[in-house]
Amino acid sequence: MENLRVDNKMMVMVMVIIGLLALYPLMVMADPIRHKVGGNKGWSPNVNYTEWSSHEHFLVGDWLWFIFDKHYYNILEVNKTSYENCIDNGFIKNLTRGGRDVVELKEARTYYYISSGGYCFHQMKVAVNVEEHQAPITASPPPIMNNSGSILPYVYTCTLIIVANVLFMILVSIGAL
C-alpha cells in the first residue's frame, strides 16, 4: 500500500513538472522586451537604425528605450512622409523627457521616430514595425521551428523535461520522496 502512495506521489510530481515545463515557452513569449534603440551606441547621429531595427523583433507591449543627450537630441514621433523627408514640424508627438526615455509600443503598426534640428539628415531616424503576438495553436502540435528558424526553444524544453525526470527518479530511488 505504501508503494502505491509513492507511485501516486511520483505520478503527480511528474505531471506537475511536465506541465510547468510545457508552459515555459508561452510564459517567456508573453513578457515584453525593452529594446535599447541603437544598441550600445544609443540614439545618436551616424548609426544605421534601419540595420539595427532589422535585427530586432517588435511585438505589441514591447518598449523602446532611447538613451541620448537631451541637450542636443530629441525623439519625435512622425508619419511616414515626415520620416522619409526628415520633416520635424507637424510631428505627432514629442516623446523627449530626460535622455533616458521609454516608449511603449501599444498597437501593431509601423512607428516612425526622428530627431529634429537637422540630426535626422545624419540618420537619426528609425522605423519600427510592430506585430501582434502569435496566438498558440492548441488543436495541433507546435511547429518544429519557431519564427526565427531555430529549434533551440524546443530543445531547451525537452532537455528540461528529461533533467526533471532524472532528478525525480534519483530522489525516489534514495527515498527522499
The CATH number linked to 106 is: 2.60.40.420
Residue 165, phi-psi category: left (phi > 0), alpha (psi -120 to 50), beta (remainder): alpha
**Predicted pLDDT of residue 14:** 61
Q: What sign for the dihedral angle of Cα 53, 56, 59, 60?
A: negative
Residue 141 and residue 147 in contact, taking contact as beta carbons nearer than 8 Å: no
Q: Do 70 and 153 belong together in one domain?
A: no
Domain count, the chain: 2
Q: Do 88 and 108 belong together in one domain?
A: yes
Residue 112 and residue 124 in contact, taking contact as beta carbons nearer than 8 Å: no
Q: Do 123 and 158 belong together in one domain?
A: no
Q: Do 9 and 38 belong together in one domain?
A: no
Q: Do 68 and 118 belong together in one domain?
A: yes
**Predicted pLDDT of residue 157:** 66
Q: Do 8 and 68 belong together in one domain?
A: no
- Comparing CA positions, the residue from 34, 20, 171, 50 lying closest to residue 110 is 50
Residue 63 and residue 105 in contact, taking contact as beta carbons nearer than 8 Å: yes
pLDDT, averaged per 10 consecutive residues of the chain (177 residues), comes to: 57 61 53 93 93 95 96 97 96 95 96 96 96 66 46 60 74 73
**Predicted pLDDT of residue 143:** 47
Residue 10 and residue 150 in contact, taking contact as beta carbons nearer than 8 Å: no
Domain that holds residue 79: 34-131
**Predicted pLDDT of residue 140:** 47
Q: Do 41 and 123 belong together in one domain?
A: yes
* Separation of alpha carbons 50 and 36, rounded Å: 14
**Predicted pLDDT of residue 19:** 58
**Predicted pLDDT of residue 15:** 58
φ/ψ (deg, to 5) at 34:
-100, 110
pTM over 0.75: no
